[in-house]
Structure 1
Amino acid sequence: MSLSDLVAGAFAADGPLARAQPHFRPRAEQTAMAQAVAEAIEDHAPLVVEAGTGVGKTFAYLVPALLSGERVVVSTATKALQDQLYGRDLPLLLRALALPLCTALLKGRASYLCHQRLQQARYNPVLAPAQAQELARIELWAQGTQSGDLAELPGLDERSPLLGLVTSTRDNCLGQDCPRFADCHVYQARRTALAADVLVINHHLFFADQAVRESGVAQLLPNSGVVVFDEAHQLAETASQFLGAQLGTGQLHDLAQDLLVSGLRHARGLADWQGLGALLRQATRELHLLVADSAAGVVPGRVAWVGAAPDGVDATAWDGAMARAVGVLRGILAGLDGVTALAPDLAHLHERTVDLLARLARFSAPGSADGVRWLDWTGQLRLSEVPLALAPALRTLWQGPPAEAGAWDEPVAPLAGCKRTWVFTSATLGDDAQLSWFTEACGMDGARTLRLDSPFDYARQAALYVPPQLPAATDPAHSEQLAHWVADAATRLGGRTLVLTTSLRALQVMAGVLQQRLAVGGGIEVLVQGQAPKRQIMECFRAPADAVGHVLVGSASFWEGFDVPGQALQLLVIDKLPFPSPGDPLVQARGRRLKQQGRSPFRDDALPAAALALKQGAGRLIRSESDTGVLVVADQRLLRMGYGKRLLRALPAMRRLRSQEEFDAALAAFTRTSTTGCPCP
């Protein structure tokens, strides 16, 4: 029996999935995707699938992959989806299909507790009392955990600075020289992964493997017959981080901190470890102050870097600050030269210092003509340089090396071994039939493509409203007046409102107004991105609203991967059309390149990117067949500009509300008990 026949039987009305799940119903879209994946596996052909919300793409790619008999690697963009696949979806399917396959979950180093780093953290002389208490809680948990996955530790704030002290990085990991190597959680997870039939990883780990080819991880992928990338729309952005080069001042700060701890512990008196660490922190602080005092550093974010220094930063002062940082690192290297044999920690500090010196040298030299360079100032300084065109390097990975490889092709080596099937899927991969936004950027020339619309009845379940009475989206008063309008709507609705902003500035303005208008005691709590851990905010918003309703104001991290089925969300507000920032250095560089090719930066880059982002954000509203809600796009350009038609086509076919009165009637219908669960009016 062919794989296609096995898949058809699995999704049949009387098949194993239906027997295992009482609420399972065959969906034409899901079956079509599963058959396309089966055919791709049989033909060893690459496949790109855009599957709308509700298609059930997870089962659609897992069922044929599991039934194929091949070793399977599934890569996701988020840890949350990793945990869902490994903890819920895979066990359910393996039971339903009666397949005795071994599964494994593998995350990056930063997800696992490091015994050696945990022990060193106790010697940290600058540990605050609150951090010491949190460290004690981690130490207690460490005694009982089997996996070492910090996601299992209840109440741990993912923003805690302590996480960097108890986890390892490629820079500070001691590898086999570590005295705790035998019980290392990272390497235990990797050994388990090597023996698995089905391995769940994430995009960062996949590309880190390709870029550095670490021992152990390099063996995970060559023997896999099927590789599936879920949430594939993030693939190009993730790949760029590993195909280019980065240097963060946080790395310099971490080196100074580890130098102090390890130097005093293993080589006290053999060098002035405190003085060297202080000099490195001073050099790091000088770079910070130089950017902060410049015109470019007034607003945190990406700063273009075309010449010898980031835009707005004095080139002479920048060169001097970089040279002083190099000098300090050379002094540290001299101090470590004679003590590396005393402890593995010191030997690895020496290697880290050499690596950081190489990175500083790269960013002290002119940038590559084939790349784009910028400085990112968001809490710490991060210097970045990435290839402008990712497609050649990624094409090398999917198809093998071209006849002539350019400089940007070199970091990625093709995967050797048996024939492999690559499957790429997401709810948003393009706004044309060829899904060219994704395929062109990721070097997927000639791949099979399939677009499947959502099976949800959006015309019945949802409505779209563009308020005509608000200021233009470019008006400085837009965010504040929109916040007052949202406060009125959320009050009538009793919360149940998600506000997605296109900038952090808009988030701050709207959050301030909403928190003032919906003050404590009003029965509505305003949740704001950044004011609490993301996981805590999401759980609070999803909780049943008995006495308290919720309004959530979020920016980039809430536009995707946030699932709120049911009545907890019935009003979704997008403040502006999500065009890429024209001042972003990467956007500017792509625009220049498109112009050189005779193409339009707006039509061929900004517009499709906005269409996909709008579709991604709008996808938060309807998550099941019974959900109802209203999508508000508070930007009149959607209806008044010619390009608005293309953006409207990217959205599901919702009914249009054409006046404030119709919008008010929709909210009133949601608040009537008799209409609970009924279609959107």
Structure 2
Amino acid sequence: MNLEEAVREAFAQGGVLSRAADQFQPRAGQTEMAMAVARVIGEGGALVVEAGTGVGKTFSYLVPALLSGERVLMSTATKTLQDQLYGRDLPRLVEALALPVRTALLKGRGSYLCVHRLEMARHDATLPDRTALRSLAKIEEWSRSTQTGDLAELPGLDERSPLVPLVTSTRENCLGAQCPKFRSCHVNQARKEALAADVVVVNHHLFFADLAVRESGMAELLPSVRVAIFDEAHQLNETGVQFLGRVLGTGQLLDLARDLLATGLQLARGLVDWQALAGGVERASRDLRLVAGKHPVGARQRWTAGAPEGFDAVRWQEALFALADALHAAIEGLHTVTELAPDFERLLSRAEDLAAKAGQFAGPAQAGCVRWVDVGLQLRLVESPLDIAQAVREKLLKADSEPGSQRAWVFTSATLGDDEKLSWFTEPCGLQDARILAVESPFDYATQAALYVPREMPRPNDPGHSAAVARLAAQGAQALRGRTMVLTTTLRALRAIGEDLQRRFEGSPDVDVLVQGQWPKRRLIERFREGDAGGRGCLLVASASFWEGVDVPGDALQLVVIDKLPFPPPGDPLVEARAQRLEKEGRSAFNDYFVPEAAVALKQGAGRLIRRESDRGLLVLCDNRLVSMGYGRRLLAALPPMRRLADAVAWEEALDSLAGLTRTSTTAAPWP
């Protein structure tokens, strides 16, 4: 039996998948995708698959990959999805298919406890407070029992905790084979397991970080893999450009200063004036941040000349030169003690790398790259390619064009574009020659969902727009006792709508209003999924990361309100550079970049509503441009084929009908 026959049999009624998934039913689209994956595994080449919500794409690529007997690399968008794939989906299928397959999970360094740095942290006099000391004690207790060192195992540890960088390593500060804890290193153990496994699960950040520096184990792993699969591939381009460019952050500089002082005082006290060297680097990094002045946090400042836009050019250059001087002073001091401990060799390498970047940023940007500064509590100097096309062609696909190469590449997501060629994804990823497959969602959207575009809504930039969005969302949440998610396109709208809704529902016995940023994301999602189990429903106001990857099936979510069309911000330096490149090529930046970007983002946001066959819900888009502008038809066509509500009367009737549905039904029935 060949691979395609084995795959078809697995997906047939009564096949092995019936034992792996509860209530499994054969789906034509799922089988179609699985067969396409099986073919590309057999023949080699690249396959791009857009698989609508509900297709079951995970099984569609896992089954042929496992049955092929080939060595497989799988990459997901986030560590959460990575854990789900490795901890739930893979084991179920391996057991159902009865295959002797060895699997491994590989994350970046920052996900694993560094035993050496944990010991260093015990003696770190700069720990902020008693809370940090108690958390460190919990980490120490856990460190004695963990087998993997994966910090995701440790309950209650926020990944944003200031302790995390103290007990994990980076490429810059890892001591490698010279580390006294090298044999017990969790990172090395994870790499060894990955190199010995048949199926390795990584994430896009780790993949591109390694593609840029060839350091995290993929340099050894990838050549031995014949099948590489990227799930949630719509994030590949934006993830890739983060790692294929150049970044210098004041956070990196402050980390160096802290480690310089702590290591120097512990291992070479009195031999060098560590206070002066660390203080010099810290002052220079803070002075660099001060040049940014009062630019709002979150701003991206263009940098096309000698200094970023809005910065004093003389002060900026002086700050960069002062930083270089401070780093060179640290380098000179470290040269005198490198033989005492491997820690000093790594500190020297870090200081030299940062000094080199400071010198590069003092000069002009590389051709084909765009440069800007991210303004936050820290400052990040960024130089980035416009996309990953060249890297994909030269570092991934080039070897596969050689005779005898049969490596298979699979890229899949629920949203990859709004045209037949899926150009939004394939062009920036250098995959124009890949095979393309689009598999429609099996959901009956016309029955399960309705779309409403309120024509009386103020224009998106009018002062009253956010208040009008809040009124409409409040109307829906009141009728549904919560069960509402409001997705905003900007943080300003997030704050305005969130504060308005919290005032409206203050003291309400029926609805809790949750606003992104007030709780950690995981806690917000957990509370929202609970719905009205505790007697009060939930209305969630969120932006950015909540537009995708948030799965709330069932009655907990029945109304999604989107404040306006999610066009890319035209003032963003990367967006601006991409638009200018298209214009130079004689193309329309609006039609070929801004509209496709909005279409994909809109599909992602709308995709939060219907997650399974029994779900029902309403999608409200509070932007009249969807029906008044010519490009609105293209954006509407990108959305799932929901039935349209003509006016406010139809909206209120649909809302009342949805609120009155019997929620114990397991099948979707039409509702007016």
TM range (shorter): over 0.9
Instruction: Give me the whole-angstrom Cα distance separating, in 1, the residues matched to 2:618 and 2:664.
Output: 14
How far apart are residue 477 of structure 1 and its match?
A: 2.4
How far apart are residue 122 of structure 1 and its match?
A: 2.1
1:336 aligns with 2:324: no
How far apart are residue 661 of structure 1 and its match?
A: 2.3
The one-letter code sitting in structure 1 at the alignment partner of 2:67 is L
Hey, what does 1:187 align to over in structure 2? 188
Contact 1:225/1:418 (CA < 8 Å) preserved in 2? no
Instruction: Give me the whole-angstrom Cα distance separating, in 1, the residues matched to 2:404 and 2:274.
Output: 48
TM-score in terms of structure 2 length:
0.97
1:374 aligned counterpart, secondary structure: strand
1:484 aligns with 2:485: no
Hey, what does 1:433 align to over in structure 2? 420
2:339 aligned counterpart, secondary structure: helix
Contact 2:423/2:432 (CA < 8 Å) preserved in 1? no
The one-letter code sitting in structure 1 at the alignment partner of 2:264 is G
Which consecutive unaligned segments of at least 5 residues does structure 1 have?
403-413
Hey, what does 1:253 align to over in structure 2? 254
Instruction: Give me the whole-angstrom Cα distance separating, in 2, the residues matched to 1:266 and 1:142.
Output: 24
Instruction: Give me the whole-angstrom Cα distance separating, in 2, the residues matched to 1:313 and 1:238.
Output: 28
Query: Structure 1 residues 22 and 330 mapped into 2: Cα distance closer, same or farther (>3 Å)?
Result: closer
How far apart are residue 97 of structure 1 and its match?
A: 1.1
The one-letter code sitting in structure 2 at the alignment partner of 1:31 is T
Instruction: Give me the whole-angstrom Cα distance separating, in 2, the residues matched to 1:643 and 1:304.
Output: 29
1:472 aligns with 2:459: yes
1:86 aligns with 2:74: no
How far apart are residue 108 of structure 1 and its match?
A: 0.8
Superposed counterparts of 1:140-539, under 5 Å? 140-214=141-215, 216-293=217-294, 297-298=295-296, 300-400=298-398, 419-539=406-526
Query: Structure 1 residues 41 and 137 mapped into 2: Cα distance closer, same or farther (>3 Å)?
Result: same
How far apart are residue 189 of structure 1 and its match?
A: 0.6
Contact 2:567/2:597 (CA < 8 Å) preserved in 1? yes
The one-letter code sitting in structure 2 at the alignment partner of 1:256 is A
How far apart are residue 631 of structure 1 and its match?
A: 0.6
Report which stretch shifted further, 18-27 or 533-542.
Answer: 18-27
The one-letter code sitting in structure 2 at the alignment partner of 1:439 is T
Q: Over residues 6-49 of structure 1, what are the superposed CA-to-partner deviations in whole Å (9 max), with x where a residue is unaligned?
A: 11100000211124434010000000000011111111121000
How far apart are residue 525 of structure 1 and its match?
A: 1.6
Instruction: Give me the whole-angstrom Cα distance separating, in 2, the residues matched to 1:680 and 1:181.
Output: 63
TM-score in terms of structure 1 length:
0.95
Q: Over residues 206-245 of structure 1, what are the superposed CA-to-partner deviations in whole Å (9 max), with x where a residue is unaligned?
A: 1222221227442111111100000111111111122211
Instruction: Give me the whole-angstrom Cα distance separating, in 2, the residues matched to 1:304 and 1:89.
Output: 44
Q: Over residues 31-74 of structure 1, what are the superposed CA-to-partner deviations in whole Å (9 max), with x where a residue is unaligned?
A: 00000111111111210000000000000011111111110110
Instruction: Give me the whole-angstrom Cα distance separating, in 1, the residues matched to 2:165 and 2:475.
Output: 43
1:222 aligned counterpart, secondary structure: helix
Query: Structure 1 residues 579 and 227 mapped into 2: Cα distance closer, same or farther (>3 Å)?
Result: same
Picking from 587, 609, 619, the partner of 1:599 is 587
Contact 1:629/1:680 (CA < 8 Å) preserved in 2? no
Instruction: Give me the whole-angstrom Cα distance separating, in 2, the residues matched to 1:168 and 1:191.
Output: 18
Contact 1:670/1:676 (CA < 8 Å) preserved in 2? no
2:292 aligned counterpart, secondary structure: helix
Query: Structure 1 residues 125 and 42 mapped into 2: Cα distance closer, same or farther (>3 Å)?
Result: same
The one-letter code sitting in structure 2 at the alignment partner of 1:142 is S
The one-letter code sitting in structure 2 at the alignment partner of 1:595 is E
Instruction: Give me the whole-angstrom Cα distance separating, in 1, the residues matched to 2:249 and 2:402.
Output: 30
Instruction: Give me the whole-angstrom Cα distance separating, in 1, the residues matched to 2:48 and 2:28.
Output: 18
Q: Over residues 439-476 of structure 1, what are the superposed CA-to-partner deviations in whole Å (9 max), with x where a residue is unaligned?
A: 11111131100011100000000111112222111113
Hey, what does 1:613 align to over in structure 2? 601
Instruction: Give me the whole-angstrom Cα distance separating, in 1, the residues matched to 2:180 and 2:403.
Output: 34
2:370 aligned counterpart, secondary structure: strand
Contact 1:159/1:533 (CA < 8 Å) preserved in 2? no
Q: Over residues 157-179 of structure 1, what are the superposed CA-to-partner deviations in whole Å (9 max), with x where a residue is unaligned?
A: 22212211111111111111111
Hey, what does 2:38 align to over in structure 1? 38
Instruction: Give me the whole-angstrom Cα distance separating, in 1, the residues matched to 2:218 and 2:225.
Output: 13
2:394 aligned counterpart, secondary structure: helix
Q: Over residues 372-420 of structure 1, what are the superposed CA-to-partner deviations in whole Å (9 max), with x where a residue is unaligned?
A: 1111113321111112353222111332179xxxxxxxxxxx9999531
How far apart are residue 299 of structure 1 and its match?
A: 5.3
Instruction: Give me the whole-angstrom Cα distance separating, in 1, the residues matched to 2:225 and 2:609.
Output: 36
Q: Over residues 251-280 of structure 1, what are the superposed CA-to-partner deviations in whole Å (9 max), with x where a residue is unaligned?
A: 001001111110100011112212222222
The one-letter code sitting in structure 2 at the alignment partner of 1:646 is R
Hey, what does 2:14 align to over in structure 1? 14
Instruction: Give me the whole-angstrom Cα distance separating, in 2, the residues matched to 1:340 and 1:333.
Output: 10
Query: Structure 1 residues 674 and 592 mapped into 2: Cα distance closer, same or farther (>3 Å)?
Result: closer
Report which stretch shifted further, 390-399 or 670-679.
Answer: 670-679
Which consecutive unaligned segments of at least 5 residues does structure 2 have?
none
Query: Structure 1 residues 555 and 463 mapped into 2: Cα distance closer, same or farther (>3 Å)?
Result: same
